[in-house]
Amino acid sequence: MASVTVTDPARDYLAQLIEKQDVEGMGVRIFVTQPGTRNAETCLAYCPPNEIVPTDEQVDLEKFTLYLDHNSTPFLEDAYVDYSKDQMGGQLTIKAPNAKVPAVDENAPLPDRVNYILASEINPNLAAHGGDVSLVEVVDGSVAVLRFGGGCQGCSAVSLTLKQGVEATLKEQVPEITAVRDVTDHTYTENAYYQ
């Protein structure tokens, strides 16, 4: 069973939304669209009794039942749902670090572990600038060869991002990686975040 945390404020907020639907036995389904891809999105949807899928995992949250989509389960491991009030009312936050790449352990092949860190920790930060980075290959047993895309390609701050962000994170999270190499053609600057 996947480990999904729903905080008390999120439970209360979702229970209020469900109550407004006025459907007996209404629950909430959590699922990942396009799981295991860079376009993966974690979603919540109402789940009326007639839409319950027998293979879904059911989690009793006292005020309602949370249904974990069976096909999404490996990608929902360590997912976190929270609600925080703010001046505009509030915000429901869903974090699923394994949505784009399912969790790997320390025995997984080196490229898989690098890809996991890129997908779960590095690319979400680069996405704020419309950028991303992908693993091309691992050479000499310990050098990650990377290619930047989107807003990172041609960006004037990419060397700082590479050394202080990407390389530092990879070396910390995947100790076998001793260096990174960028093979991106940075002469193309049309989409660069910083020109």
**Binding site as annotated, residues for [4Fe-4S] cluster:** 152, 155
- Residue 178's SS3 state is coil
Measured distance CA(39)–CA(58) in Å, rounded? 26
Cα distances (angstroms) measured from residue 96 to each of 47, 140, 142? 20, 33, 28
For residue 186, the SS3 value is coil
Say how far apart CA 191 and CA 38 lie, in whole Å.
19
Which DSSP category does 174 fall into? S
Q: Note whether 27 and 66 are within 8 A (CB).
A: yes
List the binding residues: 152, 155
CB of 57 closer than 8 Å to CB of 73: yes
